[in-house]
């Protein structure tokens, strides 16, 4: 018995030692991973890796709120969201998405219209929206109904890299895809000008392949740079918005529908020390000077009024008297032609006048008296005719 007890003790000690060794090895691997990916700004650079929907939903919803505040209606906005954060079990504030740790403003709120959500957010659907190649069954609310006089603001955000952006962690859209989609829009006259903004790692590479005219583009970071988050929400445990988008939205809060602030002023406000990356701007395809291009040309819903010249209708002069026929010249009578609409209107006016005359109290009494005397006269005539026959 003592032998078996000692044997069991040795087995238990060996199992415990193996478990401790395995645990230490696992913890060391995890620690080395986070140390290797530690952000140079302090903290973990991968803190939001598996929570990107929370982070990037706030980015997109912040832009959505801004363009709506500046006058663009929901009918002119196509909003595509993964939409898996507001009701996620890890969200301590169900049905809400905030862009700052203080949670002053619920970006999800009640007044939001998501056009594509969840698994509808695909590369194919995104390109179809841009190019207009939609199935006939797709409703108008999910279509980009633009034309050659439309200015379009395209905002993209998510996880990306050198010339690619991830969709739902399942597929990627490349810089070539976006460039070709914009070219199709140009060939099909689906835009006047495009402002393309993207917030992702190595974002500036995503507009490097554009070649269509009248496109202005900006990104949050150069090639080889990450796009960092702005602030962490300790209650949720993740960062809720990216730095680039945060400072763009902060600048946009000073803009209203009648602002004359230019795009150049927006780009000049981007501070590398705050964003912690180098935002880029590409304007070689854009015709207008940036200091003369207003922000509201893309973010605002200002109505443009076009004055149409009046129709050139020949007028008939009534000052010149009609020509009298000369001696010996036969008199020519020209029938007066009246449009059917005018004749119908005149007949209608006559009927209305007669009805009005008959319904006047005084005229109605006179009409009854006239009918009475006419009846008496008719009876007298009949009596006289009968007497004459006899």
Which residue numbers are catalytic?
159, 201
Tokens 């809720």 map to which residue? 240
Q: At what angle do helices 361-389 and 340-359 cross, to 10 degrees?
A: 90
Please provide the DSSP assignment of 105-156 as one string.
Answer: SBSSSSS---SEEGGG--HHHHHHHHHT---TTS-GGGS----TT-EEEEEE
CA distance 94 to 290: 42
Q: CB under 8 Å, gap of 24 or more: what pairs does 156-159 form?
A: 156/196, 156/197, 156/198, 156/199, 156/200, 156/206, 157/56, 157/59, 157/60, 157/198, 157/199, 157/200, 157/242, 157/245, 158/52, 158/56, 158/200, 159/52, 159/200, 159/201
Handedness of CA 122, 124, 125, 126 (dihedral sign): positive
Residue 257 · residue 302 · CB < 8 Å: yes
Residue 54 · residue 48 · CB < 8 Å: yes
Residues 6+ apart with CB under 8 A from 61: 81, 97, 99, 107, 108, 112
Residue 220 · residue 279 · CB < 8 Å: yes
Query: How many residues are listed for the chain in this entry?
Result: 390
């Amino acid at each position: 018995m003592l032998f078996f007890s000692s044997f069991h003790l040795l087995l238990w000690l060996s199992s415990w030692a193996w478990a401790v060794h395995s645990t230490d090895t696992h913890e060391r691997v995890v620690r080395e991973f986070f140390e290797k990916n530690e952000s140079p700004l302090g903290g973990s650079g991968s803190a939001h890796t598996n929570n990107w929907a929370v982070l990037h939903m706030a980015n997109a919803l912040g832009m959505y709120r801004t363009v709506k505040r500046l006058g663009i209606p929901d009918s002119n906005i196509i909003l595509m969201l993964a939409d898996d954060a507001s009701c996620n079990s890890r969200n301590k504030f169900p049905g809400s998405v905030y862009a700052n740790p203080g949670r002053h403003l619920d970006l999800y709120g009640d007044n939001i219209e998501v056009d594509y959500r969840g698994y509808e957010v695909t590369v194919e659907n995104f390109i179809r929206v841009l190019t207009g190649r939609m199935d006939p069954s797709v409703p108008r609310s999910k279509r980009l109904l633009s034309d050659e006089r439309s200015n379009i603001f395209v905002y993209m955000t998510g996880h990306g890299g050198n010339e690619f952006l991830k969709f739902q962690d399942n597929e990627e859209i490349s810089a070539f895809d976006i460039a070709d989609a914009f070219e199709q829009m140009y060939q099909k006259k689906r835009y006047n000008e495009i402002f393309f903004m993207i917030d992702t790692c190595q974002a500036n590479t995503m507009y490097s392949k554009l070649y269509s005219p009248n496109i202005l583009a900006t990104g949050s970071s150069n090639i080889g740079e990450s796009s960092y988050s702005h602030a962490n929400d300790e209650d949720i445990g993740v960062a809720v918005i990216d730095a680039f988008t945060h400072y763009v939205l902060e600048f946009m809060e000073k803009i209203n529908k009648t602002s004359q602030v230019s795009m150049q002023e927006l780009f000049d406000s981007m501070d590398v020390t705050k964003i912690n990356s180098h935002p880029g701007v590409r304007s070689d395809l854009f015709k207008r000077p940036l200091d003369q291009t207003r922000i509201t040309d893309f973010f605002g819903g200002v109505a443009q009024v076009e004055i149409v010249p009046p129709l050139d209708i020949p007028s008939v002069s009534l000052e010149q008297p009609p020509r009298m026929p000369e001696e010996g010249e036969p008199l020519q009578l020209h029938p007066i032609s009246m449009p059917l609409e005018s004749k119908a209107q005149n007949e209608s006016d006559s009927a209305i006048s007669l009805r009005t005359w008959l319904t006047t109290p005084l005229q109605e009494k006179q009409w009854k008296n006239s009918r009475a005397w006419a009846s008496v006269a008719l009876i007298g005539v009949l009596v006289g005719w009968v007497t004459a026959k006899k």
